[in-house]
Amino acid sequence: MKYASKQIGDPYRYGGTGPGSWDCSGLAGGAWRKAGVKLPRTSQQIYRAVGKKVSWKGAVKGDLLFFYGSRTHMGIYAGHGYMIHAPNSGSKVKKIKLNGYYKRNFNGGVRPGL
């Protein structure tokens, strides 16, 4: 979480794996790599590769949350109803409050490192 938090304000870049610019899966992969866990490159590959699945209510700090039917977006759960993510082109890495929109579009979570 510390590593992901330090990236807040970095620009989004499609295919970005840092440092300096990120896409959603690049940010997650970079943060977990810093913790000693290697993840695949894309959000769909990460979801398939990590065996420990978590629910919306079961998420803990550091878990990866996935959104939309094809799991094309993801973020890192920051605890207390917040997520750090690299949203989209023209935006920056940010910490956001998970609201009804994200809950409605939630499509699974994983806990890497187990």
Select which of 62, 73, 102, 110 is catalytic. Answer: 73
Active site residue 73: yes
Select which of 7, 21, 83, 85 is catalytic. Answer: 85
Q: Which residue has the tokens 């894309």?
A: 42
DSSP the chain: -HHHHHTTTPBB-TT-BSSS-B-HHHHHHHHHHHTT----SSHHHHHHH---EE-TTT--TT-EEEETTTT-EEEEEEETTEEEE--STT-B-EEEE--HHHHHHEEEEE-TT-
Select which of 10, 12, 16, 24 is catalytic. Answer: 24
Q: Is the Cα dihedral 20, 24, 26, 32 positive or negative?
A: positive
Residues known to be catalytic: 24, 73, 85
